[in-house]
Amino acid sequence: MAKSNGQFVRCLITALATGIAGLVALDTRFVGAANFRKLTGTEIRNRFAGKQLTDEIHYRLLYEKDGTLRSFSMGVKKTGKWVVEKDELCLYLGENDDGCYQVTRSGDQIELIPMGLGGPLNGILQPAYYGNGDK
């Protein structure tokens, strides 16, 4: 019985340590999010022209310098346009969720926050890849 009780205590301590480590990691993520800064219209134009925003798995949005927007998402390719209006990035691909986004940045991490309904879009801004959509 004493051996079983000792195993229980070790398991409990391991579970508590894992839980605490998870909370610390979660807290670190929120601290990192606090470093995001809202971009101005000029900053958006300068950062996005000739670049792509991607999560490196599900989607890639290519922002051409002439305002053409190319979307590669889950095997579907679309072409539209992007413009900067005031301090917002506006995307038009002929979809229900076309619209404008507030843009925040922390390093290469970008967050597009919709000005209407919907959740944010998070990704990495990197040099554009002009292939067929496949990485």
Question: What pLDDT score does 23 carry?
Answer: 47
Per-residue DSSP letter, 16: H
Q: Domain for residue 89, yes or no?
A: yes
Q: Domain for residue 133, yes or no?
A: no
- Domain span holding position 45: 37-127
For residues 49 and 28, state if they share a domain: no
For residues 2 and 19, state if they share a domain: yes
- How many C-beta atoms lie closer than 10 Å to residue 112's C-beta? 21
For residues 110 and 59, state if they share a domain: yes
Residues 6+ apart with CB under 8 A from 72: 59, 60, 61, 62, 133
For residues 29 and 41, state if they share a domain: no
Question: What pLDDT score does 118 carry?
Answer: 85
- DSSP-assigned beta bridge partners for residue 104: 38, 111
For residues 88 and 109, state if they share a domain: yes
Structure token pair of residue 98 = 């076309």
Domain count for the chain: 2
Question: What pLDDT score does 126 carry?
Answer: 93
Extract the residue ranges of the chain whose pLDDT is less than 50: 16, 21, 23-31, 134-135
Residue identified by tokens 């002929």 is 94
Give tens-digit pLDDT for 50-65.
999 999 999 999 999 9
For residues 42 and 82, state if they share a domain: yes
Q: What is the domain-level CATH number for residue 63? A: 2.40.128.640
| Residue 114: strand, helix, or coil | strand
For residues 104 and 54, state if they share a domain: yes
Instruction: Please return the burial class of 48, using the count of CB atoms within 10 Å of its CB with bins 0-12, 13-18 and 19+.
Output: buried
For residues 76 and 90, state if they share a domain: yes
